[in-house]
Structure 1
Amino acid sequence: MSLQTEMPALNPPEATQKPERCVIVVDESLTPGKASNAAAVVAFTLGQRHSRLVGAPLREGDGTAHPGLIPVGIPVLKATSLQLSELRRKSLQHCDVVDFPVQGQATTDYDAFLDAVLTHPGESLQYLAVGLVGPRNRIGKLVGGFSLFA
């Protein structure tokens, strides 16, 4: 869920599109279930914002089709809560950012989630996960020091 409104999804024409990278960074203190949830929420929104990242349908020999999958890897990396906030801040000018504030796992009611985020000034929000899509070299510089979430 991206709370940013100042930068639309990057959608250059397919013919001029440079290689992109898609990365999700989650809070290293999350349990595996909560980390998986945070990564899935971010991935779902990234897929909606960047539909061109979905590859062609997979076809079996008998013609059965399966939905297309993303043809580039999506590393899921880990960072501290402070690093996530800093990563989000630094990334906004260089790529598309989808962030998932901690309030998202405090309720199952989306309206309550919206209200909880509304009560915080932007700089005070903390994040469970941040997803980035953009030029390979920019993303690499932004996340180069992070390890895989294991």
Structure 2
Amino acid sequence: MLLQTEAGASINAEAPQKPERCVIVVDAALSPGKASNAAAVIAFTLGQRHSHLVGAPLRERDGTAHPGLIPIGISVLKATVEQLSELRQKSLAHCDVVDFPVEGQATTDYAAFLDAVQALSGDSLRYLAIGLVGPRNRINKLVGGFSLFA
């Protein structure tokens, strides 16, 4: 499993354990459009980091193929900004963490986004969303108090 260190570097800790769980926790105060964007950004990065989570292609009776989807599903939950920061910190030692700082929706220029994050200290970052992948029991303990984003 890949674990994100405090500095943001990924390490290969071990082979994926089954059963795994994948969740995305989004700032409950976001509008539906911004929440969807934040969840999509997190999901895209999680898919790249955990390509083993993509299932076999879907095939129609006539042989037409569709790309594989994640067979374990992705729960999208909601939390406050404070809870997101706490969740990120608690999760770093237990699972792979992908986070999306608020600066990501302040610009459409990725270089400006990089500069904005680099200008901040880690404890001053706030998050729009956090994605977690790891052992089901650990993820369940981390997100057990959060409800579905609706």
TM-score range, shorter chain: over 0.9
Q: Distance in 1 between matches of 2:38 and 2:73?
A: 18
1:93 matched to 2:115? The reply is no
Q: Which residue of 1 aligns with 2:148?
A: 148
Q: Percent identity?
A: 77
Shift in Å at residue 73 of structure 1?
A: 1.6
Shift in Å at residue 48 of structure 1?
A: 0.2
The within-5 A match list for 1:122-133 is 122-133=122-133
State TM-score, norm by structure 1: 0.93
State TM-score, norm by structure 2: 0.93
Any idea what the Cα deviations from partners look like across 1:60-110, whole Å, max 9, x if unmatched? 000000000000121100000000000000000000000000000000000
The letter for the 2-side match of 1:58 is L
Q: Which residue of 1 aligns with 2:42?
A: 42
Structure 2: runs of 5+ lacking an equivalent:
none
Structure 1: runs of 5+ lacking an equivalent:
none
The within-5 A match list for 1:1-150 is 4-8=7-11, 12=15, 17-150=17-150
The letter for the 1-side match of 2:123 is E
| Moved segments of 4+, more than 4 Å | none
Return the structure number with greater strand share: 2
Q: CA RMSD in A?
A: 1.5
Shift in Å at residue 18 of structure 1?
A: 1.9
CA separation of 1:9/1:109 partners in 2, compared to 1, >3 Å: closer, same or farther?
farther
Shift in Å at residue 5 of structure 1?
A: 2.5
CA separation of 1:136/1:59 partners in 2, compared to 1, >3 Å: closer, same or farther?
same
The count of corresponding residues between Structure 1 and Structure 2 is 146
